[in-house]
Amino acid sequence: MIRDRTLLRPRYTGLTINSKPYMLCATVRLYDWMQWSDKGRFHRVSHAANRAVAIPEGYRLRLPGPTFVPERIRQATARPIVNHRGPEFRAMLADAEERLKPIFGTRNRILFFAASGSGMMEAAVVNIASAGTELLFVSHGQFGERFATIAQEIGARFDRLDMPWGSDIDIDAVAQRLREKTYRAVFVIHNESSTAITADLARLGALVRDTPTLLVTDSVSGLAGTEMKQDEWGVDVVVSASQKALMCPPGLGLASVSAKAWEVIDRGDHLPAFYWSFKRALASLEKGETPFTPAVPVVYGLLEALDMIHAEGLPRVLARHRRLSTALRDGAAAINLPIFGTGRNLSSTVVALSVPQALDGAAIVKALYERHRTVIAGSRNRLSGRVIRIGTMGDFDDDTILTDLAHLESVLADLGHAFTSGAGIAAARASLAASIQR
Ligand SMILES: *Cc1c(COP(=O)(O)O)cnc(C)c1O
C-alpha cells in the first residue's frame, strides 16, 4: 500500500494532512514503531511531548539524584489518574505508608506532600521554628547550607555550626553548642550529597534524647539506600523525597514526625504554614487522604518501588548500596581519582571524587556526556571543578559501576590524566569479588 516508506519518514506529517489523517498517521506510527523497537530504542516510541527533544540513545542517568527510574516503575506511573479522595487511592496511600515505615525505621505516620526535597526541607523548618525559640543548623556541605538558608529566608532564629566540607560531623562540637544554649531543634543532613559524607544520627540522637531539643534530618538522598533507624536513634523529624534511592520520578515528598516533635508542633507557636503544615497533613492522613492533590503517578511508582525493595529485602538493598559504592571508590582510586575529603562516614548512595589539580571536573562531566551519554554531577558550589560525583543509589548493579569506570577511563585518557589503563575496572572487580553478596 505504502510504496515508498521513506516518504513517510518525516514523522507525523500525517497530523497535518487533511485527507484520512488518522489512518495515515497510524500507519506511519506503526511503521516507525516497528523500525525503532527492532533496534531496542524504546525511548523513540514516545508521545508528542517527547518528540521535540530526543533523549539520546544510550543515555545513562548517573547523578546523585534524580536517579534512573526502572522500567516497571516508569510503567506504573502511567496508570490512569484516579480520584485522590476515592477508595482506590485511599488503599494505595495506606499501603505505601505501611511499607515505607520499615525503610524509615519508624512506627510514626508518614506524611505525603507534592514536593521536591527542598520543599520538604522548608516544611521541616516552618513546622518547628517559632519566633521565641532558636534552632541550630549543623552543616558539612551544600545541602546543610541550604537548610540554614531556608531558615534565614523564612525568618527563623538560628545559629550555625559549620564543619569543613568533606569532613565528618564533629559530634563533640555539637554537644558543646547544646550545653551553651537551649535550642528547640538541631537540623542536620543525613547524607550530604555534595560531599558524600553521612551524619552519625545515632550519636546525634543520643545527645538530644533526654532533652527538650529535637533532632531534624534531611534524608532525601539517604533513605532506602542507607540505614535509617528513626525510632531507635531518636530522630524526631525525617524528611525525604521520591527521586533518589526510592527510584521514582521527582514530585513526592515524605515526612515522618515523632511523638516528641508532635508535642512541639501542637504548641501551635510555629512559623506560619499552610501548604507545608504537618498538622493539616496528619488530619487528612487520618481520613486516608492528603490535604491537597498529591502526585498520584509518583505514588503509583512508589508502590512499585516498594515491591522491588521488599522483594530484594531491605538489608540486602542497603548492603548492595554499600558494596557497590565501595567498589566504585576502589576503582576510582586505582585510576588516581581519590575519595574527596577526610571524612570516614562515607556515603553508600553517592561517591564524591577529588579531581587532580591538572584537570577540570566540569571537563570530565562534559566529556562523559558527549562521548558516552553518561550523566554524572560536578559541583556548582565552592568545590566547583574540584569534585565529581556519581550516584550509587536505586536500581544499579555491578555492571553499572563497571560501565561508569570504563567510561571514566576512556575520558580521562583523552584528557591526558596519568593512570594505568584498565586499573580502575580491575580494582573494582577485585573489590566486588571480595564482597560477594549472599
Ligand atoms: C537531592 C537532595 C535534596 C533535594 O533537592 P530537590 O532538588 O529540591 O529535590 C535535598 N537534600 C539532599 C541532601 C539532597 O541530596
- Ordered per-residue pLDDT tens for the chain, 438 residues: 344 444 444 444 444 444 444 433 343 444 444 444 444 444 444 556 656 789 999 999 999 999 999 999 999 999 999 999 999 999 999 999 999 999 999 999 999 999 999 999 999 999 999 999 999 999 999 999 999 999 999 999 999 999 999 999 999 999 999 999 999 999 999 999 999 999 999 999 999 999 999 999 999 999 999 999 999 999 999 999 999 999 999 999 999 999 999 999 999 999 999 999 999 999 999 999 999 999 999 999 999 999 999 999 999 999 999 999 999 999 999 999 999 999 999 999 999 999 999 999 999 999 999 999 999 999 989 999 999 999 999 999 999 999 999 999 999 999 999 999 999 999 999 999 999 865
Report whether 224 contacts 248 (CB < 8 A).
no
Pocket flag, ligand 1, residue 196 (CB < 6 Å): no
Please tell me the predicted confidence (pLDDT) of residue 51: 63
210 burial (CB, 10 Å; 0-12 / 13-18 / 19+) is exposed
Q: Is 4 helix (H, G, I), strand (E, B) or coil?
A: coil
Check pocket membership of 133 for ligand 1, CB cut-off 6 A: no
Q: How far is the centre of ligand 1, averaged over its atoms, from the C-alpha of 66 (Å)?
A: 9
Query: Is the minimum distance from the CB of 240 to ligand 1 under 6 angstroms?
Result: no
Give the Å distances, CA to CA, from 375 to 168, 197, 362.
27, 21, 12
Asked if 424 and 408 touch (Cβ cutoff 8 Å), the reply is yes
Instruction: State in Å: Cα 23 to ligand 1 middle.
Output: 46
Ligand 1 binding pocket mutation candidate from 137, 142, 143 (most atoms within 8 A of CB): 143
Looking at residue 234, its amino acid is G
Give the separation between CA 398 and CA 402, rounded to whole angstroms. 6
Distance 117 CA to ligand 1 centre (A): 5
| Residue 95 CB coordination number (10 Å) | 14
Residue pair 406/425 in contact by the 8 Å Cβ criterion = yes
Q: Does the annotation list 389 as a binding residue?
A: yes
Cell numbers found for residue 183? 535550642
End-to-end CA distance of the chain: 57
| Residue 118, ligand 1, Cβ within 6 A | yes
| Residues whose CB falls within 8 Å of the CB of residue 376, separated by 6 or more in sequence, listed in order | 62, 63, 364, 365, 368, 388, 389, 390, 391, 404
Which one, of 136, 126, 236, lies nearest residue 182 by Cα? 136
**CA torsion, ordered 24, 26, 29, 30, to nearest 10 deg:** -120
The domains found in the chain, sorted by start residue, are 71-311 (3.40.640.10), 314-436 (3.90.1150.10)
List the residue whose alpha carbon is closest to atom 11 of ligand 1: 220
Residue 63: what pLDDT?
Answer: 98
Q: What does the alpha-carbon distance between residue 162 and residue 168 come to, in Å, rounded to a whole number?
A: 11
Cβ of 377 below 6 Å from ligand 1? no
Between the CA of residue 220 and those of 189, 194, 223, what are the distances in Å?
A: 9, 12, 6
- For residue 372, the one-letter residue type is H
Which pLDDT value is given to residue 32?
43
- Cβ–ligand 1 distance for 347 under 6 Å, the answer no
Q: Say what the pLDDT of residue 37 is.
A: 45
Q: How many CA atoms lie within 13 A of 339 on its CB side?
A: 20
